[in-house]
Copies of this chain bind each other. A is one copy, B any other.
Amino acid sequence: MPSAAESHPPLRVALLGCGVVGTQVARLLTEQADDLASRVGAPLELVGIAVRDASAPRDAAVDRSLLTEDAAGLVERADIVVEVMGGTEPARSLLLRAIEAGAAVVTANKALLAEDGPTLYKAADAAGVDIYFEAAVAGAIPIVRPVRESLAGDRVRRVLGIVNGTTNYVLDQMATTGRGLDEAVREAQDLGYAEADPTADVEGYDAAAKAAILASLAFHTRVSLDDVAREGILAVTADDVAWAAQTGHVIKLLAIAERRDGGATGEAGVSVRVHPALVPTSHPLANVRGSFNAVFVEAESAGELMFYGRGAGGAPTASAVLGDVVSAARHRVLGGKGPQESTYAELPILPPSAAVTRYQVRLDVEDRPGVLAQVAHALAEHGVSIEAVRQPTARGAADVAEPGVAELLITTHAAPESALSATVAAVAELEPVRTITSVLRVEGA
């Protein structure tokens, strides 16, 4: 370490929030104090922990004398403000206040960033202070730094992320045990992997917030939660999961951000969406099990990259927060500034109907000659090209056919979502078609 750094006065760290993550951040700041001081070149001093109720019970790792209910006062006497309280307010106001007061800020708040990140980035840029948020996307997995910095000389084409551990656990359980969705969700709740109210997870809101942040980073474009087409896992059945396995796929809830260069199949821009998708079992994302997260990135020169790890939990998230604290602190000691959220590209956000992907459509039809030709004709009329049709004789786990009814499994070539919707509607109207059992997108193939 340079000698100038050794004599640097302590850096004052303020912690906003003392829940599962905040408690771990407080613990690590104490336990790792010596290592952190060596890496930063100055001691890090935790000067206060803002909480709603200072008299509530706390983990023994938390020094109660640091608790305060005056968050606004706290941020004004800190060099680095760490926000792990969650929610948009008062988090946003407190961070803006910290930035105005000249503090660097570190946040794990995906909801706030997905809703209003650009306001914070602009404020930090204007004030010349750092804003870091590695913990806001995929928990402990370093993904913000690699995308912002390591890939700064490359061009990202596509990001596919398993960014919600709860739904990944549920889908994984369905695949390995054959259970239905409700049962798997209940089990996840019993094990503490899912909240009592699992809406944010199973309906894809959590994944959508992360998709917005990932898309903003990857494409240097302002993407907010409202720009993300969102579909959760509630419609995924045990039958879908069994069928996926039979065709060499697993079903994953994916956060997808992709750059479209335009041309014959549509306009140029960025498509951002969250939905369940069939992923080939040979794809690296297919092996991401249980509550783990992973982000798969395709870049023009780097090719395929994947980042894998714990997407949630107190200690893993605190690890990411502390990495950011060290970066911000080093800048205080040695000068310099982290990369800002440059949004110079500002690509247009494409509507959900413009997404282009492959589909697997499963339908029950009358079991007589000519039906397949009729269905194929309907697809062709809408410009949707068929890659494969399967008409299985035995249905394995999905064996529920009535006599006289056959099941068809159609995999299409890439087609725009709008064409597919129109096609499915037309096919459903065909006389020999009893029911469209499921329509699933295929990604990563």
Contact = CB atoms under 8 A, between A and B. Distances in A.
A330 B339 CA distance: 8
B309 A304 contact: yes
B146 A146 contact: yes
Q: How many copies does the complex hold?
A: 2
Given A331-B336, A342-B1, A153 B32 contact: yes
A432 B397 CA distance: 51
B301 A154 contact: no
A310 interface: yes
Interface stretch (A34-42, A248-256, A437-445): A34-42
A146 B295 CA distance: 14
B24 A140 contact: no
> Which residue among A32, A154, A287 has the maximum number of chain B CB atoms within 10 Å of its CB?
A154
B321 A153 contact: yes
A152 interface: yes
Nearest to A125: B2
Nearest to A318: B301
A137 to B, nearest CB: 12
Nearest to A288: B284
A145 interface: yes
A326 interface: yes
15 contacts: A28-B154, A38-B342, A134-B150, A142-B145, A142-B150, A142-B151, A145-B149, A150-B323, A153-B322, A153-B325, A306-B307, A306-B309, A307-B307, A335-B335, A336-B336
The list of the 10 closest CB pairs from A to B, nearest first, reads A336-B336, A153-B322, A142-B150, A142-B146, A301-B319, A152-B326, A302-B319, A140-B302, A305-B309, A306-B308
